[in-house]
Structure 1
């Protein structure tokens, strides 16, 4: 963090001295700074002809954002866990030839019916630049990637041991597919951050 502040101070001083943005960027790159760091430091100041340089407003973390996006993240977790569990019951019912039903099914459907709209509304109204939302979106990406990787490890291990049944393969597909859906859903956040 100190290095970032130091780089922004350099940009502030260089802009204040009248240097062109392209020259400042080139100088930072020659000095060994990454393009992303140089671009972020320059982006911290408005591109307006005024001295001293005008800093851009910085996003801040509010307690409201933490509560709202925390609830959205929790709702996503509840929906995903109950959806996967519901799909497992459907698979087990198909394999065993038993009719689908029971109390557990009712709780899973009820949880999805209640929490899916909560997640949908929060995410639909979300400020994509909120630092809290970004952190939680990256947390979702991180956990989804881990789930996909560990599912792949499990399937490969079961294949090598000769213990991969059709039921287990279908369950692995549900888990990996759900995690993959989360990865695809949040890919726009990755793309937006790479452009900064």
Structure 2
């Protein structure tokens, strides 16, 4: 795969150096069977400026520091989201107690642990997110970071699975006639958290793909 992309990049460079238009290069590659995303990525790798030879654009690169920042960012996001849901579930259990064990009606230890996690993890998420945001404004090419894309798609996948399972659980309960206020509120909490994360990172990914 890497060799094929190198061949594509070399072809685009050679075609541009011979004065071929970008439209004609795009058509030739499309006719040859290259995917539009691959063709566009190869063409945008060179700046559209007047110069005797093709001028390459700066390209994203992976660094240990970048991987560290994104791993901290998404780990604290997952911790914050999970424990926010856990905290709200426990509060719902307390507000709508059932004829069940005291553990299922709201465990104080779980509530304390969730609050402690959110108090620490969420501010770290905000700080790291702000730092990364400043760097992206200064160097837009970093939006194309491989580690950023992989973790963003992983987050979209997790959020989508949560939403799908949430809806399946809701439909199953509707069909069985076992709907309670406590259950409905928990479904709404899970959907709200997962849906917010999914929507935010989907828009963020679209901005990444729209950037040159």
Fold match (TM-score > 0.5): yes
Counterpart for residue 126 of structure 2:
120
Counterpart for residue 160 of structure 1:
175
Does 2:204 align with 1:189? yes
Cα offset for 1:110? Answer: 1.5
C-alpha separation between the residues in 2 aligned to 1:150 and 1:51? 57
What SS class does the counterpart of residue 33 from structure 1 fall into? coil
Counterpart for residue 63 of structure 2:
62
C-alpha separation between the residues in 2 aligned to 1:166 and 1:65? 44
Counterpart for residue 102 of structure 1:
108
Q: After the TM superposition, which of the residue ranges 61-70 and 181-190 deviates more from structure 2?
A: 181-190
Counterpart for residue 91 of structure 2:
90
Cα offset for 1:31? Answer: 2.9
Counterpart for residue 174 of structure 1:
189
Q: Structure 2 regions of 5+ residues with no counterpart?
A: 137-141
Counterpart for residue 25 of structure 1:
26
- TM-score for the superposition, normalised by structure 2: 0.83
Q: Structure 1 regions of 5+ residues with no counterpart?
A: none
C-alpha separation between the residues in 1 aligned to 2:153 and 2:180? 33
Is the contact made by 1:11 and 1:42 (CA closer than 8 Å) also made in structure 2? yes
Is the contact made by 1:61 and 1:131 (CA closer than 8 Å) also made in structure 2? yes
C-alpha separation between the residues in 2 aligned to 1:153 and 1:159? 10
Q: After the TM superposition, which of the residue ranges 80-89 and 158-167 deviates more from structure 2?
A: 158-167
Give the ranges of 4+ consecutive aligned residues of structure 1 lying more than 3 Å apart after TM superposition.
97-101
Is the contact made by 1:134 and 1:189 (CA closer than 8 Å) also made in structure 2? no
Cα offset for 1:179? Answer: 0.2
What SS class does the counterpart of residue 50 from structure 1 fall into? coil
Counterpart for residue 137 of structure 1:
152
Cα offset for 1:162? Answer: 2.1
Does 2:35 align with 1:34? yes
The RMSD of aligned alpha carbons is 2.2
C-alpha separation between the residues in 2 aligned to 1:92 and 1:44? 55
Cα offset for 1:101? Answer: 7.7
Is the contact made by 1:78 and 1:111 (CA closer than 8 Å) also made in structure 2? yes
Counterpart for residue 48 of structure 2:
47
Cα offset for 1:156? Answer: 1.1
What SS class does the counterpart of residue 184 from structure 2 fall into? helix
